[in-house]
Amino acid sequence: MGSNDFITLFFLVAAVLIFLQLRNVLGRRTGNEKPPRDLYTPRDAAGPEAQDAGKVVTLPRRDAAGEEEDRFAAIDAFAPAGTPLNESLREMNKADPSFSPKEFVNGARMAYEMIVMAFADGDRKTLKNLLSKEVYEGFDAAIADRESKGEKVKSTFVGIDKAEIKNVEVNGSEAQITLRIISQMISATYDKADVLVDGDAETVAEISDLWTFARDTRSRDPNWKLVATESEHE
């Protein structure tokens, strides 16, 4: 949720592993890369070679209702059936059959930490991989403004208290998921004279954000990117 700012080899390797895990979890899909294997396809649809005795084990066919019930099992476990969130998650799953809300949230949590820390460190390379063009331009401008003033940010990411899906929209092939993320951070900004100008170097602050991730479900790129951020004031 880029490793130029890490000093030791340990942290370099850790950053690479986190990034790879993020790509595997947040961007995980199969339906738009290669058609998934249909384990319930009858033998005669597999071609002459597959019909040779002893080479193919024909599994029992399932009706469409049973297959759909299996597909939505993870969604029903995540959000009660019949609720608006459940219905919208089902639409998301229809657009991308490999989509799992639980795995998406886990990936989004990692993306969140990576993005906020990359912003604090001025790590544009990491941000570019995780943000849409428009959001990246906003982050880049803020970093450039900070750099022009000679300011630096020192941040410690404490953790995420809650991450929950608030809204899912599927318009054609474009899918967007908005999450409410409550995190805890220590952040302080210093000027070129090393004088504190913003934040607190000792106090843990609670931050509540609404972040929206998006991807084109028809694209061969499986990764979601951050397309909108908003601070939530309760």
- The token duo for 21 is 């895990």
3-state secondary structure of 131: strand
Domains of the chain as residue ranges with CATH: 18-231 (3.10.450.240)
C-alpha pair distances (Å), 94 with each of 28, 155, 170, 204, 234: 15, 40, 10, 41, 34
pLDDT of res. 66: 53
Give 20's pLDDT tier (boundaries 50, 70, 90). Answer: very low
pLDDT of res. 231: 87
pLDDT of res. 86: 96
Average pLDDT over residues 61-71: 56
Average pLDDT over residues 139-144: 97
Nearest-angstrom CA–CA distance, 20 and 106: 14
- The token duo for 193 is 């004279």
Is residue 214 within 8 A of residue 225, CB to CB? The reply is: yes
Residue range 82-138, pLDDT digits in tens: 999 999 999 999 999 889 999 999 999 999 999 999 999 999 999 999 999 999 999
H or E element, residue 134: helix 133-148
Residue range 172-200, pLDDT digits in tens: 999 999 999 999 999 999 999 999 999 99
Range list of β-strands (E), 83-204: 152-171, 174-190, 196-199
